[in-house]
Structure 1
Protein backbone atom coordinates (compact mmCIF):
# COMPACT_ATOMS: atom_id res chain seq x y z
CA UNK A 1 0.00 0.00 0.00
CA UNK A 2 1.38 3.40 -1.00
CA UNK A 3 1.41 5.97 1.80
CA UNK A 4 -0.91 8.97 1.58
CA UNK A 5 0.88 12.25 2.01
CA UNK A 6 -0.48 15.49 3.38
CA UNK A 7 0.48 19.08 2.73
CA UNK A 8 0.81 21.78 5.41
CA UNK A 9 -3.00 22.35 5.46
CA UNK A 10 -3.72 18.66 6.14
CA UNK A 11 -5.08 17.93 2.66
CA UNK A 12 -4.22 14.60 1.05
CA UNK A 13 -1.75 14.94 -1.79
CA UNK A 14 -0.65 12.29 -4.25
CA UNK A 15 3.11 12.22 -4.68
CA UNK A 16 4.88 10.43 -7.47
CA UNK A 17 7.86 9.45 -5.32
CA UNK A 18 6.36 9.11 -1.85
CA UNK A 19 6.00 11.49 1.04
CA UNK A 20 7.73 14.67 1.92
CA UNK A 21 9.80 14.48 5.11
CA UNK A 22 7.24 16.50 7.12
CA UNK A 23 4.11 14.38 7.78
CA UNK A 24 3.10 11.05 6.30
CA UNK A 25 0.12 8.74 6.92
CA UNK A 26 1.15 5.12 6.48
CA UNK A 27 -1.51 2.50 7.27
CA UNK A 28 -3.67 5.09 9.05
CA UNK A 29 -0.91 6.18 11.50
CA UNK A 30 0.36 9.74 11.24
CA UNK A 31 4.11 10.02 11.57
CA UNK A 32 6.43 12.98 11.44
CA UNK A 33 9.96 12.83 10.21
CA UNK A 34 12.91 15.12 10.69
CA UNK A 35 16.15 15.36 8.77
CA UNK A 36 18.30 14.70 11.86
CA UNK A 37 16.88 11.35 13.00
CA UNK A 38 19.15 8.93 14.83
CA UNK A 39 21.54 7.39 12.36
CA UNK A 40 21.36 10.38 10.03
CA UNK A 41 24.29 10.93 7.72
CA UNK A 42 26.80 13.21 9.46
CA UNK A 43 29.55 12.95 6.85
CA UNK A 44 31.38 16.25 6.37
CA UNK A 45 32.70 17.17 2.96
CA UNK A 46 34.52 20.23 4.29
CA UNK A 47 36.59 20.45 7.46
CA UNK A 48 35.55 22.77 10.27
CA UNK A 49 37.67 25.90 10.55
CA UNK A 50 39.46 24.59 13.64
CA UNK A 51 40.33 21.33 11.84
CA UNK A 52 41.78 22.90 8.68
CA UNK A 53 45.44 22.46 7.71
CA UNK A 54 47.13 25.55 9.09
CA UNK A 55 50.20 26.49 7.08
CA UNK A 56 51.66 28.64 9.89
CA UNK A 57 51.54 25.79 12.41
CA UNK A 58 53.01 23.37 9.85
CA UNK A 59 55.82 25.82 9.00
CA UNK A 60 56.80 26.09 12.68
CA UNK A 61 56.89 22.28 12.96
CA UNK A 62 59.10 22.05 9.88
CA UNK A 63 61.42 24.80 11.15
CA UNK A 64 61.77 23.11 14.54
CA UNK A 65 62.64 19.71 13.04
CA UNK A 66 65.15 21.17 10.57
CA UNK A 67 66.95 23.20 13.27
CA UNK A 68 67.07 20.28 15.71
CA UNK A 69 68.35 17.70 13.25
CA UNK A 70 70.59 19.78 10.96
CA UNK A 71 72.43 22.00 13.44
CA UNK A 72 76.16 21.38 12.96
CA UNK A 73 75.68 18.71 10.27
CA UNK A 74 78.17 18.70 7.39
CA UNK A 75 77.06 17.67 3.89
CA UNK A 76 77.99 14.13 2.91
CA UNK A 77 76.70 12.94 -0.48
CA UNK A 78 76.56 9.31 0.71
CA UNK A 79 74.36 10.19 3.69
CA UNK A 80 72.10 12.74 1.93
CA UNK A 81 69.39 10.26 0.80
CA UNK A 82 69.04 8.73 4.27
CA UNK A 83 69.12 12.18 5.88
CA UNK A 84 66.35 13.54 3.64
CA UNK A 85 64.21 10.42 4.25
CA UNK A 86 64.72 10.73 8.00
CA UNK A 87 63.80 14.42 7.95
CA UNK A 88 60.67 13.75 5.88
CA UNK A 89 59.54 11.03 8.29
CA UNK A 90 60.19 13.25 11.32
CA UNK A 91 58.24 16.13 9.81
CA UNK A 92 55.32 13.89 8.84
CA UNK A 93 55.16 12.33 12.32
CA UNK A 94 55.28 15.77 13.97
CA UNK A 95 52.43 17.01 11.75
CA UNK A 96 50.38 13.90 12.58
CA UNK A 97 50.89 14.62 16.28
CA UNK A 98 49.58 18.16 15.78
CA UNK A 99 46.28 16.57 14.78
CA UNK A 100 45.53 17.23 11.13
CA UNK A 101 42.93 14.46 11.04
CA UNK A 102 41.34 13.64 7.69
CA UNK A 103 44.34 15.12 5.86
CA UNK A 104 46.69 13.24 3.58
CA UNK A 105 50.15 14.56 4.42
CA UNK A 106 52.83 14.66 1.74
CA UNK A 107 56.32 15.76 2.76
CA UNK A 108 59.15 16.50 0.34
CA UNK A 109 62.70 17.17 1.54
CA UNK A 110 65.69 18.10 -0.62
CA UNK A 111 69.20 18.21 0.87
CA UNK A 112 72.08 19.59 -1.17
CA UNK A 113 75.60 20.88 -0.86
CA UNK A 114 76.06 24.58 -0.22
CA UNK A 115 78.45 25.81 -2.92
CA UNK A 116 77.13 29.33 -3.44
CA UNK A 117 75.15 28.36 -6.54
CA UNK A 118 71.48 29.09 -6.98
CA UNK A 119 68.79 26.43 -6.85
CA UNK A 120 65.26 26.79 -8.14
CA UNK A 121 62.53 24.42 -7.07
CA UNK A 122 58.85 24.23 -7.97
CA UNK A 123 55.89 22.04 -7.14
CA UNK A 124 52.50 21.77 -8.80
CA UNK A 125 49.38 20.23 -7.36
CA UNK A 126 45.75 19.96 -8.30
CA UNK A 127 43.72 20.55 -5.17
CA UNK A 128 40.80 22.30 -3.53
CA UNK A 129 41.96 25.76 -2.49
CA UNK A 130 39.29 25.93 0.24
CA UNK A 131 40.56 22.91 2.18
CA UNK A 132 44.10 22.09 1.04
CA UNK A 133 47.30 23.98 1.76
CA UNK A 134 51.08 23.71 2.00
CA UNK A 135 53.95 24.97 4.11
CA UNK A 136 57.68 25.10 3.45
CA UNK A 137 60.84 26.17 5.15
CA UNK A 138 64.53 26.44 4.25
CA UNK A 139 67.55 25.66 6.40
CA UNK A 140 71.10 26.62 5.40
CA UNK A 141 74.51 26.40 7.02
CA UNK A 142 78.05 26.67 5.60
CA UNK A 143 77.99 23.11 4.29
CA UNK A 144 74.42 22.30 3.17
CA UNK A 145 70.99 23.59 2.32
CA UNK A 146 67.67 21.89 2.96
CA UNK A 147 64.25 22.70 1.53
CA UNK A 148 61.29 20.96 3.15
CA UNK A 149 57.69 21.23 1.97
CA UNK A 150 54.57 19.72 3.52
CA UNK A 151 51.29 19.44 1.64
CA UNK A 152 48.01 18.90 3.46
CA UNK A 153 45.31 17.52 1.16
CA UNK A 154 41.86 16.98 2.68
CA UNK A 155 40.84 13.32 2.43
CA UNK A 156 37.12 13.22 1.51
Structure 2
Protein backbone atom coordinates (compact mmCIF):
# COMPACT_ATOMS: atom_id res chain seq x y z
CA UNK A 1 0.00 0.00 0.00
CA UNK A 2 2.81 2.42 0.91
CA UNK A 3 4.46 1.90 -2.49
CA UNK A 4 1.19 2.65 -4.27
CA UNK A 5 0.66 5.80 -2.20
CA UNK A 6 4.22 6.96 -2.85
CA UNK A 7 3.81 6.46 -6.60
CA UNK A 8 0.60 8.51 -6.87
CA UNK A 9 1.19 11.64 -8.94
CA UNK A 10 -1.48 14.27 -8.35
CA UNK A 11 -1.64 17.13 -10.84
CA UNK A 12 -1.13 20.62 -9.48
CA UNK A 13 -4.23 22.65 -10.40
CA UNK A 14 -3.76 25.49 -12.88
CA UNK A 15 -6.01 28.48 -12.09
CA UNK A 16 -7.97 30.36 -14.75
CA UNK A 17 -10.33 33.34 -14.49
CA UNK A 18 -12.54 35.20 -16.92
CA UNK A 19 -11.94 38.04 -17.27
CA UNK A 20 -8.31 36.89 -17.38
CA UNK A 21 -6.04 38.37 -14.70
CA UNK A 22 -8.25 41.38 -13.98
CA UNK A 23 -11.85 41.84 -12.94
CA UNK A 24 -14.06 44.47 -11.36
CA UNK A 25 -16.02 44.89 -8.14
CA UNK A 26 -19.51 43.33 -8.42
CA UNK A 27 -18.74 41.73 -11.82
CA UNK A 28 -19.19 37.96 -11.95
CA UNK A 29 -15.77 36.35 -12.40
CA UNK A 30 -15.67 32.84 -13.84
CA UNK A 31 -13.34 30.40 -12.09
CA UNK A 32 -11.96 27.14 -13.42
CA UNK A 33 -8.96 24.87 -13.18
CA UNK A 34 -7.05 22.33 -15.19
CA UNK A 35 -6.12 19.08 -13.45
CA UNK A 36 -9.57 17.93 -12.26
CA UNK A 37 -9.27 14.38 -13.62
CA UNK A 38 -9.14 10.94 -12.02
CA UNK A 39 -5.65 9.79 -11.03
CA UNK A 40 -4.78 6.11 -11.11
CA UNK A 41 -1.54 4.39 -10.15
CA UNK A 42 -0.04 1.54 -12.10
CA UNK A 43 -0.81 -1.78 -10.39
CA UNK A 44 1.96 -2.73 -7.95
CA UNK A 45 2.48 -6.44 -7.33
CA UNK A 46 4.27 -7.75 -4.25
CA UNK A 47 4.08 -11.47 -3.67
CA UNK A 48 0.55 -12.69 -4.28
CA UNK A 49 -1.15 -9.31 -4.11
CA UNK A 50 -1.62 -6.49 -6.60
CA UNK A 51 -2.56 -3.06 -5.23
CA UNK A 52 -3.83 -0.06 -7.17
CA UNK A 53 -4.99 3.39 -6.05
CA UNK A 54 -7.60 5.58 -7.72
CA UNK A 55 -8.12 9.20 -6.68
CA UNK A 56 -11.32 10.94 -7.77
CA UNK A 57 -11.59 14.75 -7.56
CA UNK A 58 -14.58 15.75 -5.41
CA UNK A 59 -14.42 19.53 -5.10
CA UNK A 60 -12.31 22.66 -5.49
CA UNK A 61 -11.85 25.07 -2.60
CA UNK A 62 -11.09 28.57 -3.85
CA UNK A 63 -9.29 31.00 -1.55
CA UNK A 64 -10.16 34.25 -3.29
CA UNK A 65 -8.46 36.68 -0.95
CA UNK A 66 -11.65 38.18 0.43
CA UNK A 67 -13.66 34.95 0.71
CA UNK A 68 -13.33 31.17 0.42
CA UNK A 69 -15.84 29.23 -1.70
CA UNK A 70 -16.23 25.57 -2.66
CA UNK A 71 -17.22 24.41 -6.16
CA UNK A 72 -18.27 20.83 -6.90
CA UNK A 73 -16.46 20.62 -10.23
CA UNK A 74 -13.58 22.15 -12.19
CA UNK A 75 -15.64 25.19 -13.19
CA UNK A 76 -15.74 26.60 -16.71
CA UNK A 77 -14.98 29.74 -18.69
CA UNK A 78 -18.70 30.59 -18.87
CA UNK A 79 -18.89 30.59 -15.05
CA UNK A 80 -22.08 28.53 -14.88
CA UNK A 81 -20.84 26.21 -12.13
CA UNK A 82 -18.17 28.27 -10.38
CA UNK A 83 -17.98 32.05 -10.12
CA UNK A 84 -17.61 34.90 -7.68
CA UNK A 85 -18.31 38.65 -7.64
CA UNK A 86 -15.78 40.58 -5.56
CA UNK A 87 -17.13 43.17 -3.12
CA UNK A 88 -13.89 45.13 -2.67
CA UNK A 89 -11.05 46.19 -4.92
CA UNK A 90 -7.59 44.73 -4.50
CA UNK A 91 -5.92 48.17 -4.55
CA UNK A 92 -4.95 47.98 -0.86
CA UNK A 93 -3.48 44.46 -1.20
CA UNK A 94 0.22 43.78 -1.53
CA UNK A 95 1.09 44.24 -5.20
CA UNK A 96 -2.43 45.58 -5.86
CA UNK A 97 -3.82 42.07 -6.44
CA UNK A 98 -5.52 39.26 -4.58
CA UNK A 99 -3.44 36.07 -4.54
CA UNK A 100 -5.98 33.35 -5.31
CA UNK A 101 -5.52 29.60 -4.94
CA UNK A 102 -7.56 26.55 -5.87
CA UNK A 103 -7.22 23.33 -3.87
CA UNK A 104 -8.56 20.05 -5.27
CA UNK A 105 -9.92 17.60 -2.70
CA UNK A 106 -9.44 14.01 -3.83
CA UNK A 107 -11.28 10.91 -2.58
CA UNK A 108 -8.59 8.19 -2.54
CA UNK A 109 -9.56 4.52 -2.77
CA UNK A 110 -7.52 1.34 -3.13
CA UNK A 111 -8.08 -2.15 -4.49
CA UNK A 112 -6.20 -5.36 -3.82
CA UNK A 113 -6.30 -8.53 -5.89
CA UNK A 114 -4.61 -11.82 -5.10
CA UNK A 115 -4.36 -14.56 -2.50
CA UNK A 116 -2.44 -12.44 0.04
CA UNK A 117 -5.04 -9.63 0.21
CA UNK A 118 -6.76 -9.26 3.58
CA UNK A 119 -9.43 -7.05 1.98
CA UNK A 120 -10.52 -6.30 -1.59
CA UNK A 121 -10.19 -2.56 -1.12
CA UNK A 122 -11.27 0.49 0.79
CA UNK A 123 -10.89 4.19 1.38
CA UNK A 124 -7.70 6.03 2.24
CA UNK A 125 -9.66 9.21 2.96
CA UNK A 126 -9.05 12.48 1.20
CA UNK A 127 -5.98 14.26 -0.09
CA UNK A 128 -5.79 17.95 -0.98
CA UNK A 129 -3.50 19.48 -3.61
CA UNK A 130 -3.27 23.31 -3.85
CA UNK A 131 -2.41 25.45 -6.85
CA UNK A 132 0.31 28.04 -6.84
CA UNK A 133 -0.97 31.52 -5.91
CA UNK A 134 -2.29 33.41 -8.94
CA UNK A 135 -2.59 37.22 -8.87
CA UNK A 136 -5.99 38.71 -9.70
CA UNK A 137 -6.43 42.48 -9.90
CA UNK A 138 -9.90 43.66 -8.84
CA UNK A 139 -10.63 47.27 -9.81
CA UNK A 140 -13.56 49.59 -9.33
CA UNK A 141 -15.46 51.02 -12.27
CA UNK A 142 -16.01 54.74 -11.93
CA UNK A 143 -19.19 56.17 -13.37
CA UNK A 144 -19.90 59.71 -14.48
CA UNK A 145 -23.50 60.80 -14.20
CA UNK A 146 -22.84 64.04 -16.05
CA UNK A 147 -23.70 66.28 -13.12
TM-score by length of 2: 0.34
Give the helix-richer structure, 1 or 2. Answer: 1
Larger radius of gyration: 1
Higher strand share: 2
Q: TM-score, normalising length from structure 1?
A: 0.32
